[in-house]
Chain A
Amino acid sequence: MQFYISILTFTLISVIAVTGIYVLTGLTGMFSLGQAAFMAIGAYVSGFLVVKAGVPFVLAAIIAVVISVIVGYIVGLPTVRLRRDYISLVTLGFGEAITALLNQTQSITGGALGFSGIPKITTLPLALISAIVCIVLVSYLKNSKYGRQCIAARSDELAAKAMGINVPRIKMTAFLIAVAVTSYAGVLYAFFTTYVDPGIFGWKKSAEWVIMVFFGGVSSLTGSIFGTIILTALPEVLRFAADYRTVFYAVLVLLIINFKPTGLFGEYELSVGNLLRRLSGKKEERSNA
């Protein structure tokens, strides 16, 4: 039972991170390869504050997210005005820089050995509530004016600019939302595993999240979440060797990109209303035939 609860919690933490990626990649069409580094900042800062400075958990979490957002602003500042390739390249460099920094500052972070002794505060209900709150907020965001501006900027940046949308600002906001959400996932992660080390926050992790979003469907929030749950939980339950897992992922995603490039869900959002509409629509089609 303990095993399944732990898998479920990990999956929920991944879901939280992926809702952030969805805002960045799904809505705005930018790719970050340093997202895991922001998770690392969230994890290390909050862990450090609680363990070394005795700050209460909630306050530590807030400070960690705020610091991540400030760092994210500095990283995003030169890149949001440029081609989208730049944000991927810059965040990739940023991720490597953070990993190197964590490895080097041994006296503070424990270096490559990791930072341990973090109290276990994250529970399944906390992860579940956080995940639900994140999903609800992001789905509101998608349907808001801001969300539509994001989608416009993703589809055609020039046209969006011509319509008077401030594209660099839209991109920056999306990036910062993603950073905040991911670093919060990092806080939850640190206080669940009670131990963090720099190795797990490399660009591979960020790439894995992008793959998850694409697996489910890049334009669909529920699709992205579905993809995350499948790709996180299934291999854990089936206990694949970790090495084979990445190869398995990669082949799966290559197949999807070649044969169904919009992902499993495409533009479709899973919701009660859409389900009913689909069911009734099918019935109508049948009666027409």
Chain B
Amino acid sequence: MSIQIIINGLAVGSVYALIATGFSLIFNILKFSNFSHGALMTLSAFIGYFFAVKTGSSLIPVIIVSMLAGGLVAYIGEFVAFRKITLRSTSPVYYFVSSITLGTLYEGIVTIWVGPNFYNYPRFFQSMVVNIGGFVISKPDLIMFISSCLALALLVIFIQKTRLGRALRSVSFDRDTAGLMGINVFGIIQLAFFISGALAGLSGVFLGINYTLYPQLGNLVVKGFIASVIGGLGSIFGAVVGAILLGLTETLLINFVGSGYAPVFSFLIMLAFLLIRPQGIAGSNVQEKA
């Protein structure tokens, strides 16, 4: 019983980690909180859903289609909503409004497209559970956990080991200097948006499988935000640890009190963290920069 709860918590936490990482990527590079991330998750999850229904394909192609769709939409979104603000480099408040507006736009499009109904992904698996060494583990949970870990590992290798990843880090650190060093700054920003969108697509599909698919599914992005606050804004490592921690605590608490109170718990956990250790687990900068 308790092993099952832990596995479930890890699976949920790993999806939160995907959300939080996608959010942190953008936070790092443009220093703002991307509130369109949730609606992007919904949009790409629905694209994946209709692809699955139309073609009757298995899970892997659906995930790939969703990730590509999320990446492309984020790529276009950057161009439409954030490019001019970055060029003008005025107040960061415009990023905020732009991202909220973009989120509202995505959600509005989804609502017009599918209506306010609930949708269920087709059943991708024959049996819903696997039996490993005497423990009965839910199959979606296991797949969620493994593929999230895989995606995160690939991302970390990409950021730490490749040339493009180094460019990404340098643009996050200082945009102007990176530009002077011959890095194509806007290319890198677009890349970051594409990766973030692809992560949104992946997490969207998993959330859709785990719960149901509906236009407000993106509200679950709050968990990702909370995870990155716990971990320290902008730190990918912190976001992952925070997300796993949040997923585990939430699953444990839900087991005692019921799932409806989950948002209340995650909020209280975040508030407690901000009171005790505002810089988060990884200890990022929390004060306004000059």
Q: Which residues of A contact B290 (CB under 8 A)?
A: 156, 158-159
Q: Are A254 and B98 in contact (CB under 8 A)?
A: yes
| 17 pairs, A vs B, C-beta closer than 8 Å | A29-B93, A74-B271, A78-B278, A83-B287, A86-B278, A93-B222, A93-B226, A158-B290, A207-B100, A207-B103, A243-B111, A244-B108, A254-B101, A257-B81, A257-B84, A261-B88, A261-B90
Q: Mark B193-225, 1 if CB is under 8 A from A, else 0.
A: 000000000000000000000001001001001
Q: Which of B90, B225, B274, B278 contacts A92 (CB 8 A)?
A: B225
Interface residues of A (CB under 8 A from B): 25, 29, 31, 33, 74-75, 77-79, 81-86, 88-90, 92-94, 96-97, 99-101, 103-104, 156-159, 202-204, 207-208, 210-211, 214, 218, 243-244, 246-247, 249-251, 253-254, 257-258, 261
| Interface bin, chain B | 35 or more
Nearest CB of A to B35, in Å: 8
Q: Is there contact, CB below 8 Å, between B267 and A247?
A: no
- What CA separation (Å) do A208 and B103 show in the bound complex? 11
Within 8 Å of chain A (Cβ to Cβ): is B32? yes
Which residue of the partner chain A has the closest CB to B219?
A96
The smallest C-beta distance from B272 to any residue of chain A, in angstroms, reads 9
Q: Is the CB of A90 within 8 A of B85?
A: no
Contact A86 B286 (CB under 8 A): yes
> In the complex, what residues of B have CB within 8 A of residue A254's CB?
80-81, 98, 101-102, 105
Nearest CB of chain B from residue A199's CB, rounded to whole Å: 10
CA distance A254 to B36 in the complex (A): 13
* Complex: A99 Cα to B285 Cα, angstroms: 31
Taking CB atoms, residues of chain A closer than 8 Å to B266 are 93, 97
Q: How far is the CB of B92 from chain A (nearest CB, A)?
A: 8
On chain A, the residues within 8 Å of B96 by CB distance are 31, 88
Main secondary structure of the interface of B (DSSP, over half): helix
Q: Could you list which residues of chain B lie within 8 angstroms of chain A, going by C-beta atoms? A: 27, 32-33, 35, 80-81, 84-85, 88, 90-91, 93-94, 96-98, 100-105, 107-109, 111-112, 216, 219, 222, 225-226, 229, 233, 258, 260-264, 266-268, 270-271, 274-275, 278, 285-288, 290
Partner of A243, one of B108, B216, B267: B108
Q: Which of B226, B262, B271, B287 has the most CB of A within 10 A?
A: B271
User: Can you name the residue of chain A whose Cβ is closest to the Cβ of B32?
Assistant: A85
